[in-house]
Amino acid sequence: MRWPIRVRGAHTDPADAPGDDDLFDEAFQKRLEYLALVSRRVFRGRTRAERRSRKTGTGVEFADYRRYAAGDDYRQIDWNVYGRIGRLMLRLYEEEEDLSVYILLDCSGSMAFGRPPKLRYGKQLAAALAYVALNNLDRVSITALRDGSAERLAPTRGRNRIFTVFEFLRPLQADGGTHLADAISTFAAQNKRRGVAILISDLYDPLGFEEPINALRFARFETHILRLVSPDEAEPNLHGELELVDSETGLTRQVTVTPALLARYRAAQAERDQRLEAFCGEKQVGLSTLDISVPPEEAILNVLRHGGLLA
């Protein structure tokens, strides 16, 4: 017989957590098919896709004119313009290209916190985003961040690759430290092709959240942060003489939780949220704070749409 291990505030019993076999059901997948991933920047793609690129090329959408230069394809010269102004102008068309979507999933120990665990919630988000991207013929890569390292699913495309994504996500466990900055540096080194980087994390990094976000920015990724928050950590139901245990490091602290201390905790949380929002706003980094008590379908369909990540 196996006795459940219950530690207040955390949910480490595997039997207590929902299984990963039901990351998506069929109805959920159908609803996601109608969504498209948008990006405020357009990046150059290696193959044609359903996304416009600044690169002028063989597309059908007119983009601009420029002076003819030696070596240009004279088939693109607009002779009507030459007739009106007497200069050779070249017609430029937008070329439709594919988009690289990088999903970075924090798998540190703190992601085991919450009900359901934040990691499970993050897996569902990652899988959903990957599905949408693959459905739009984008290239999707998933990276699990843990202990400063980055375990990744190589960029892939095609709708049928979603099962590969599932296979990658399913065995991921929440353990180890965070060290997001190191892990993201590793990720940037692995992925030269720029694109949209979606970081799914609770941003509980002892070194702070600024450095990892800056690491993505400096690597010229269009960065979106999906910050996962459990109601238990926003409004902890704690009181009395307690020994707090860090779910990631195992570090303990003895504390007497009083209403005053809880108020100060809430104030500290709010101040941290405020600092994060200000930082992301200043650096033009998309930030969405997701409550894991909200069903993931609702989060993806509503919160992300309103946040501008989905078209």
Partner 1 sequence: MQFTGLTLSQVLMTLGAAGGVTLLLYLLRTRRRRVQVPFIPLWESLLRDRRSSRLFQSLRHLISLLLALLVVALLTFALGDPRDREDSPDVAHQVLLIDASVTMGATDVEPNRLQVAVDQARRLVAGAGARQRILIAQVDASVTPLSPMTDDPRLLDEALDAVALSDSGADHGRALEFAAAVLAGRSGASAVLLSDRAEPLPEGPAVALADAGVDLRFVPIGRRSENVAISAFAVRRYPLDKNRSELLVELHNGSDHAERVELTLRGDGQTIDVQTLELEAGARVRRVYDDVTGVRSELEAELRAAEAGHDDLPIDDRAHAVVPERKAMRVLCVTAGNRYLEAALLLDEYMQVDVVTPAEYAGAAGYDAVIFDAARPPEPPTVPALYIDPGAVADGHTPLETRASLERPFFDRLRRKHPLLRFTAMADVNIASADALVTVPGDVVVAADRRGALVVAGEREGLRFVALGFDLRDTDLPLRVAWPLLLLNTIEWFTVDEQEQRSSLDVGESTTIELPAGVEQVTHMAPDASERTLPVRDGRVTLTPERVGFHELRWPGGRRALAAALDGSTLRPLAPAEAMVVAGRAVPPPTVPEPAPARPPWAWLALVAFALLAIEWLTFHRRWTV
Rounded Cα distance between 26 and 21, Å, is 13
Phi, then psi, of 273 in degrees rounded to 5: -60, -40
Binding mask 199-218 for partner 1 (x = CB under 8 A): ---x-x-x------------
Q: Where are the beta strands (DSSP E) in 132-195?
A: 139-146, 149-156
Q: Which is nearer to partner 1, 88 or 242 (CB)?
A: 242
Query: What is the distance between the alpha carbons of residues 1 and 205, in angstroms, rounded to a whole number?
Result: 37
Cα distance between residue 79 and residue 133, in whole Å:
40
Structure tokens at 112: 């085991």
Stretch near partner 1 under the rule CB under 8 A, chosen from 52-60, 129-137, 247-255, 278-286: 247-255
Q: Is 264 in the site for partner 1 (CB under 8 A)?
A: yes
* Closest to partner 1 by CB, 99 or 181: 181
Of the residues 230, 280, 296, 309, which one makes contact with partner 1 according to CB under 8 A = 230
**Whose structure tokens read 């942060």?**
225
| Residues in a beta bridge with 97 | 48
How buried is residue 234: exposed, middle or buried, by Cβ count under 10 Å (0-12/13-18/19+)? Answer: middle
CA-based nearest residue to 177, from 147, 222, 215, 217 = 147
Does 234 sit near partner 1 (CB under 8 A)?
no
Q: Which stretch binds partner 1 (CB under 8 A): 66-74, 95-103, 256-264, 290-298?
A: 256-264
| CA pair distance 98, 125, nearest whole angstrom | 21
Q: Which is nearer to partner 1, 96 or 233 (CB)?
A: 233
Determine phi and psi for 114, rounding to 5 degrees: 100, 170
With binding defined as CB under 8 A, does residue 13 bind partner 1? no
Q: Which of 42, 63, 81, 244 binds partner 1 (CB under 8 A)?
A: 244
Chosen residue from 55, 248, 276, 286 binding partner 1 by CB under 8 A: 248
With binding defined as CB under 8 A, does residue 171 bind partner 1?
no
Is residue 113 within the footprint of partner 1 (CB under 8 A)?
yes
Inter-residue contact 89 to 66 (CB < 8 Å): yes
CB nearer partner 1, residue 78 or residue 273: 273
63 versus 234: smaller Cβ distance to partner 1? 234
- The closest alpha carbon to 100, from 191, 216, 212, 201, belongs to 191
Q: Which parts of 272-291 interact with partner 1 (CB under 8 A)? A: 272
One residue of 149, 190, 214, 269 binding partner 1 per CB under 8 A: 269
Cis ω before 171 (30° cut-off from 0): no
Among 8, 46, 87, 275, binds partner 1 (CB under 8 A): 8
CA–CA distance, 192 with 219 (Å, rounded to integer): 9
Min CB(178)–partner 1 separation in Å = 9
Contact residues toward partner 1 (CB under 8 A) are 7-10, 12, 110, 113-114, 202, 204, 206, 230, 233, 236, 238-249, 251-261, 264-265, 268-269, 272
